[in-house]
Chains A and B, each alone.
Chain A
Amino acid sequence: MLVTAPGCKSNGSSADGDDTGTDGDGTDTGEDGGDEDAYIPPPGGMRRLLDYQYLNTIEYMFGPEAAAVANPPVDPSLHGYTSIGAAQISPALDLVELYEASALAIADAAIANISTLAGIVPCVQSSPDQACYTTVAETLGHLAWRRPPTADEVAAIVEIALEAEAWGAGDFYAGLKYEIVRILLSPDFIYVVETGVQDDGEPGVYWLTGSEVVTRLSLLLIGRTPSLTLLESAEAGNYDSPDAVETLARAMLDDTRAPEAVSEFFGEYLALDDISAKDTEAFPLYSVALVDSMVEETELLLRDVIWTQNSDFRDFIEADYTFIDSKLAELYGVPPPENDWDMVMLPAEQARAGFISHASVLARNSHGAGNSTTRRGLYIQQRLLCFAIPPPPPEVNPQLPEIPDDTPMTLRELMETLHLEVDSCADCHRHMEPLGFTLENYDALGAWRTQEQNGLPIDAVAEYGDYGVLENAADLAANVAMDPRLGECIVNNIIRFGRGSLENPSNESEQLADLYGAFESSNYRFQELLVAFVTSELFLQVGEPK
């Protein structure tokens, strides 16, 4: 169903529909596709709750103490997203064991701190008797499974509760504990099913049902499954129109949990948890705490742009301000903040701008002991611009050359020799190295530098395709921010994250173009992108179950 990864044949950074494949730019060339009838939604089916969705849902149902002991399985990722992995990769053989261990611990904590559950099912506190087991099965079952359990299912749940109560010598809470475990171990809790209802006119198109829509929406926008009230309202047909979905989406974006849920997207999209340790001899400032501060800086800028300012998302790429704590102040060589975190203007002489010059992304795309112009360039192309760069062809010699001791080189000089002189390498590397060269003024930890460790001066001026001459990082950031592929790439990525499948330029070209357009016409406000996405066919429809 997918387009094969491309070569690197295109010139420069043009966004004119070259052969960059499924992630190249996604714009419709007009030569094929673009026919409304060609639209085929991605298949319906089931996907597993992601770890954070599971934890947030447990906290909602049972309280923070229960969430603190919950320990769901690790989510494998596919195409860079755990949501895609959760829709396609088969469960590991220890999946149920891990869920069971988690459910047993949750149930103990839920009962030890019963008030949260009692807020949903009051009888667990007010009248703890056998009749309450039925109420729990019906109410908590409905909430956890996102559908009302059938009478047979309620009976099966209560049977476990009664058996456990007897095993616990008549203790109501022994029965309740295993009843909770029973409900949480059901595949109806663990998997989100999205099969929809067949469209009257188009047999290959299925509209998600009301409860499927509010579940998908809640998971994306507030990071947990819906409340019982919302589920019941959806079951009554109140969310069958895009207008109602929009109203709900806007309400959810105002929810205090929305920023954290949206940060889950950026956590995977920006992949900043991959910052590996640095060689502390070369980088004495390195510490795990510093890395935490780096990631927090990026988080704070994101939240400022998306939530506080609700401004043009491209500010995230090229803002002239940032947020620092004392550790980052030391790293960046600026005065320490007055508070734990302060918003500060970036020092002009360092030519920093926005996320592209954050220590987080610079350190992530470096080696333990030094810079990598390749990785920095690859990250910008692949993650920010969705320009797919294929693996090196097998015939390419990937060996680094020997540098004679008596003629030291800068990293840039080495890469120019190695990656840009030979055509077979340069085909792809000319899309990576020049971008990386402009970031050479920042070391592997993201600190400003004007010379390399060997004392050679840094030349950060580079030239790249349509971007032309790039004087420094701020220049690069401005070009990336203005590149139309940036907005399209973010759209592609939120689709991947939000529905658990890759966007498909062949089957969805019109819908994708509409969403790219909606993001642009909203002046690239991320909240508006989310609203446009969740009210589009891309979000509300699925195909045949896979």
Chain B
Amino acid sequence: MKKTALFLGVSVIVAGCASVATGPQAIDWNKIPATKVALFYPGQSSYQWLRSEAHAGAAKETARGDSCTSCHDDPKEEQRQGAKILRGNHPLEPHAAALKGKNGHIDMTVQAAYDDKNAYLRFQYKTHNPNHPGNDYPGYRFDGKEWKAYGGMRLNKNVLAGKTGIVYENRLNIMLDDGKVPGFAQQGCWLTCHDGERDMQKEASKAEVEANALLKAIKKSDVRKYIPASRSDPMDWKTGKPLDEIAKLKASGQFLELMQWRAHRSDKVGGADDGYVLEYRNFDKGSNHFASNMDGKTKQPKFMFDPAKFGAKAFAASDYGGKKELILVKGVNAVPFDPNAGWKEGDILPQYVLSAADAKGSAADNKAVSSWKDGVQTVVFIRPLGLANDDDKALKPGGVYNVGFAIHDDNMTGRGHHVSYTKTLGIGAKADITAVKLN
């Protein structure tokens, strides 16, 4: 390992430890019960598809609100469904050929504990690539004149067309409901996955998005996860309710908590996203652990690598997938961008710059620590108990919550993830996953 990488690793670990105090490192996880959860590749199985005749024999039952597991109850269900969808002739995956060799399911273990301040949720699973932690992310590449986006996930249109490289970070997501979102206990994450969203069937066109009143009002340029109650017709993303009605839903607790650990954009600063799903996949108020590295006015990056720390001011596409961590962190290896630094065609800088210090407000509630060793990813989320922000679900001792998990693995984002059926999480209460009180 080069000195620069070692420096970055050590610095970040120290920063991470400082931010999480003595939390998860002090827990003897060998004493905490482990629950096995299987996740599978769902393809384009949207809310709408599940209520269509294509969901053979189950459209009526799904629309009625039956749980997924009332039918999908075999011990190998996730293994079987994931393999079928990726097999090559399944209508839920039109790009199966491009995903040849992809694993249909992932076996994960979940452990949970809590003390007076926090809940600690620990996850372990094997990454599909045993040789890389999946912490690369698309960058901005200098083409000799301009800095343009480079890289994308496996299902990205430019990737499929061979116009750019396959690059995306791994992620681990938790979606959580406190019982206030009707149907989540039964159908989990599938309540939020709809036709019209990115890479889904009937993906919304730019013109359709621009013409939509709700998306215009919330200043969004695409369709992302939403809960059914945010639409007057949940089968149609275009029927968004007025903002005052959305606000009432939020005030009544009709939204889903969404926590995301990101291998590139949050891991090195000990963070995890804090967001929620209501009319869109939103971030909580405040600032995230990561921010755009593109200056909208100058159309140039804001930061570049400090050559003294990183070994160079930028990297090349051939560095992706290697041993060097291509992560830009303020106060560690980032310096302000110098437009006169002698940039050459092919130079790449990260699309995001990270900072633990810049993360603020409700968006900065969650912390995380992780490790990746011998192809096994371990992530511990640290979630403060009793959060009172209006965009948070408060975890409380004795509470039982409905949870769904997702893993974005092997250069995937959007729908290209593995997902679980709904489980329950109890904070000191009996559930599928019971958090143990720490002494």
Is the A/B pair a real complex? no
A-side interface residues toward B, CB under 8 Å?
A: none
